[in-house]
Amino acid sequence: MAAVESETNPRRTWRGALALKLAATARGTVVAERRHEGPFCIQRPFYPGDGACHVYLLHPPGGLAAGDELDLTAAVGPGASALLTTPAATKFYRSDGAPSVQRQRLRVAAGAALEWLPQESILFGGSRAIVETDVELAPGARFIGWEQLSLGRPLSGDRYATGTLEQHMRISCDGEPLLYESLRFSADDRLLAADCGLRSFGVCGVLYAFPAKDSLLVRVRTCLGAATPSPERPAATQLRCGATLLGELLVVRCLAREPEALRTLFEALWCELRPEVLGRAPSAPRVWRT
């Protein structure tokens, strides 16, 4: 789709849309259908031998400016297994007008498995970001996903002095809600420094896994305990984490000083979760190491 230019907003805006259907076949999971508009597409799938179809989502502009939209719809059919990730962070650039909008709608059929593992989103100072993720699971579906968020770019002098975020996450199974939460703040909001908020940490993230049991929660909390401060590890100040079980949905929330610290922790948790939740040994996408 071509860029859009309006009379009220002369800046050219982009809408990128991508729809994927993944299906199980005798030779494994394949991308059975794909449709895209604008600068949003995929490479050919990768098959590292772990039983899943690895798909890299490509957005050549690398970020969203004022008025830009990025829409993903992914449906994983019965018995199929897919891992979706991105080769780089998604950037929300400064906006003096309309917000930048990113939407993900993920559907996982009975007996199917989806791993939604994008790299982090970076909110530039002055950005106006809206991020919506909707995950619908059928009975018997399996899911691991995460979302990571960085405020500003401290190494470039961007301390996120201005900007807004509106973020929504919905996860349901068989039409019943497992989790529905929203996060809204502006750069000058007291929530960013409050003990009940981000506590002045510049990076935050949430990891989800379904289905999960109490025994898995205990193992995850053990991993988190090794990464967070204690009397024996007072210097471990990079992370603050917690995990809980909502029915069969495992939710891990973390605050970090640096995006690398959060990414490293989430990858370690994914390695712990994957064998039990999906029945597969960890096999990291190659793009994470390039």
Question: Each residue of 41-99: pLDDT tens digit?
Answer: 998 999 999 999 999 999 988 899 999 999 999 999 999 999 999 999 999 999 988 99
Q: How many CA atoms lie within 13 A of 84 on its CB side?
A: 30
Q: At what angle do helices 259-278 and 214-227 cross, to 10 degrees?
A: 160
Average pLDDT rounded to a whole number, residues 25-43: 95
Query: pLDDT category, 237, cuts 50, 70, 90?
Result: low
Angle at 172 between CA 246 and CA 219, to 5 degrees: 35
Measured distance CA(155)–CA(52) in Å, rounded: 37
Which tokens is 123 given? 């909110």
Residue 61, pLDDT score: 87
Mean pLDDT of 252-279: 96
Closest CA to 110 of 82, 135, 136, 139: 139
SS (H, E, C) 205-272: EEEEEECCCHHHHHHHHHHHHHHCCCCCCCCCCCEEEEEEEECCEEEEEEEECCHHHHHHHHHHHHHH
Burial of 83 by CB count in 10 Å (0-12 exposed, 13-18 middle, 19+ buried)? buried
Give percent of the chain with pLDDT exceeding 90. 87
Mean pLDDT across the stretch 31-45?
94
DSSP 86: -
CB atoms within 10 A of CB 268: 15
- pTM of the full predicted structure? 0.93
Report pLDDT digits (tens) over 176-186.
999 999 999 99
Bridge partner list, 156: none
